[in-house]
Structure 1
Amino acid sequence: MDHPRFYYRKSVNDVKLFLVLIPLINSLNFYLTYDTISLSWFYVATFCIDTLEGYAAWGAIRSIIRYLDDALPYTEAPLKRILLQLIGTSLSTVVVLSFLTELVNWLAGGDPIPLGFYTKTMFLFVIWNFVVNGIYIGFFFYDLWQQAEEQRAPVPVVEEPKPDQTGLMVRFGKKDLLLHFEEISGFYVDGEYTVVCNGTGEKYLLDQSLDKVEEQLPRHSFFRINRQYIIHRGMIRGFERADHSKIHVLLLPSPTLPDSVTASRLKAPAFKEWFALS
């Protein structure tokens, strides 16, 4: 079974999110830690250092979650996974932040940090860690829900092209050319454009989306491997299995197409069935 991971997400970039979120969390920590706060070089420097330490602790948390995504996915033992994740990330948070705090204090030549500081601050560290974990766990289950919705969604019926349709009209300079289906090696998305290429390496831009192009192609000759690529059967030499039930579709050498294109867990079974009909 394919286990979605937080760093596969397209709708939310966790790095950008936490680049903004960590300073906000640190601001709350400041408010809860210090009885009085004034705008001085000491508090500004302390805030900047604490924010950098927060980024370091988040990096450790992210690494542990990434490791557990492979070693113990949520779907195999959700309670055990969440418990191990919370314990492991809490310990890493405390260790990283304590070490960096002591290091900065030693470099600054300050007095030993009183135990009372850690009694209160450690509690905030753990709460901070639980918030971060909650966000990543939410990412996972949101992805899982999205995949379930995609599986339940009805598959649109794609009609075969009309019998007299033998290719696509493409524009090349001032010319409109008919590019026969058998000449086409594949289609791919490049920014806002759909590119069609032939076996000789020529490329043409289409003013249609890849979805619209797919509707016009004969299904026995072309397959939509993912959101970016449609490949002609004649360009496919096989496939290899990848992690999490995905497959890498292997392509013949081409000046315009990559050596392989990845099909997702949801697309892989349909591709195998289609490819077996050749």
Structure 2
Amino acid sequence: MLAASISQIEYKDKWVRAIILPLMLSLQLYLDYSEDFWDWKLAYCIGADILTAILVWELIRTVVLLLDRYYPWQNGFLKRLLLQLLITVPVCLVLIIGITWTTYTFIVTPHDPNLWLYFYKIDLPVIVILLCMLNFIYVSLYFYRFHEQQSITLPSILTDLTEQKHVRKPKTETNRLMIKSGKKELILDMSEVAGAFVTDGICWVVTTEGKKLVVDCSLDYLEEALKTGNFFRANRQLILSRMLVKSIHSDTYGKIKVVLKEGSGVSGEIFVSRTKAAEFRKWIKVDIAFQG
């Protein structure tokens, strides 16, 4: 997602065109036109130059957008830059020379050799430089927008992922729990669930009958569904209900030792940390006599 959003940069280049295009046209008018009088031929030539500049800009922009889609900068900076220049510069030169030839042939005096000499010696080098400048403008715009979009998109993606982590819960219907076990979806009444635990990376649900069911989810995933007040997350490996607890004992450093009932599917002893001890005592209430 991030890679896709980064490669599809939106160029906000209206203000760039509004500034650069008039400057380019002014330079061209300064180099090409020194006449002090106006006639229809001069007006045509200036209009043709303006149209050519607009077409060239749009052509370069179109090529840049297509390359962003089919050959993005992530494929290699130098390769992409070279490919972009090899496409835009020759194609734009063909367009410019074609329009210039049409103008010189049908509008301006066709037998003046100085026109073409001036075009190739003065205009053409300037045009090539301007075409390269236009390309580098879009390169700069890309990486400016890349940095700007990354600084906005990445926190947004991380926020979305965090929200999805909290929102994504197992399916629950009133007092029922729906969990996936292999290719089956199990539907258990909450009263049938005694607890859940993880061992060797496998998550198990324990029923009140002592059955252990392998489920395709994490303990964190189950914890969200079992927040009914009847279950307690004792540690990273175990969620238990009161029916699993046989007795509890105070231990060193403020910890609590919990003895689990035999035959419940999760027998043995576990320890509740000092940070969770007060919460555990509140949860267990007076169901079991606290032994000091």
- Normalising by structure 2, report the TM-score: 0.46
Larger Rg: 2
Q: Which has the higher contact order (CA 8 A, sep 6+)?
A: 1
Which structure has the highest helix share of the two? 2
- Normalising by structure 1, report the TM-score: 0.48
